[in-house]
Homo-oligomer: A and B are copies of this chain.
Amino acid sequence: MAIRIAIIGFGKIARDQHVPAILADPRFELVAVASVERPPALEVPWFASTAELIEGMRGQLDAVAVCTPPQVRHAIACDAIAAGLAVILEKPPAGTLGEIDDLERKAQIARCGLYAAWHSQHAAAVQDARRLLEDATIASLNIAWFEDVRKWHPGQDWIWSVGGFGVFDPGINALSIATHILPEPLIVKEALLIEPENRQAPIAASLTFAGNASRAEFDWRHEEGECWTIHVDTEEGQTIVLEEGGARLSAGGVQLPLPERGEYNSIYSAFAEVVEKREVVVDREPLRIVADAFLVGSRVRAEPFE
């Protein structure tokens, strides 16, 4: 019997990624949507809030996918867990580390199944990169994550508000890959956070990590094309490069063949297992790095962003 799932928060990521992945996977059945505004041409029941969804679908719902902005994910997930539902969370799983810890504790007690998904960890190159690096000693890591915020985040005001994390919203995708493929944890030593005068979130950031010549550069002011690249050099002389956000992989300059499955198909495959085994799968490391960067970050003011 399929897992009856509802999507909560029906913005760009829900429509572009979650709906197609759910419809493509026979282990899931999309049975409802909850969102502030009623989406046009929706073929399943719609609810205006999580509370109304839980009440209206009682006995007809097994799981929810929380696709809202991060600031409200914790409250929604708490309600879903309290109702005995399995929960999959978009990234980042919550707005603070305390909220992540809290969801993890509550899900462990409820045994309802909780999956904090980091979609970039499901990119085609990531598993192979992780295998290539598992016994390596890292000489240097270089993350370059550049894109045009106007092109990639049109109308997403929440990314600029407090708790939206600004350029770390895409940057945390790179961090989720790096923490997953590297054999050692990343420790932030210095951070430069560049904030537009009229905003409370960085438009660019530069992190330096401990122990080796490792850096991450995030920039939203990149108007010509995108660069989502992670470059790793090992002490053993290996060079591993992930490009296009983890969709392409090369080792020693040679492009490697990769599986073709999409990130969100892989996510829902993993979530089906989490639901079946009632597991709690939570990786807080990417948000830990962002929190540490905010903690030790030097702030520099940049021109206003309109």
Contacts and interface: CB of A to CB of B under 8 A. Distances in A.
Identify the interface centre among A98, A99, A288, A294: most chain B CB within 10 Å of its CB: A98
27 contacts: A74-B210, A95-B295, A96-B188, A96-B292, A96-B296, A97-B291, A97-B292, A98-B185, A98-B186, A98-B188, A98-B210, A98-B288, A98-B289, A98-B292, A99-B187, A101-B185, A101-B288, A102-B185, A102-B187, A105-B185, A162-B297, A162-B298, A165-B295, A291-B292, A291-B295, A294-B297, A299-B299
Which of the four size classes fits the interface of chain A?
20 to 34
Interface in A195-234: 200, 210
Contacts of A298: 162, 200
Contacts of A297: 162, 294
A166 to B, nearest CB: 11
Contacts of A299: 200, 299
A101 B297 CA distance: 19
A210 B99 CA distance: 9
Q: Which of A95, A186, A289 has the most CB of B within 10 A?
A: A95
A183 interface: no
A200 B294 CA distance: 12
A84 interface: no
A102 B185 CA distance: 8
A249 B185 CA distance: 42
A98 B187 contact: yes
A119 to B, nearest CB: 21
Interface in A145-167: 162-163, 165
Given A96-B187, A98-B185, A163 B200 contact: no
A164 to B, nearest CB: 10
Contacts of A188: 96, 98
A213 to B, nearest CB: 17
Interface string A100-138: 011001000000000000000000000000000000000
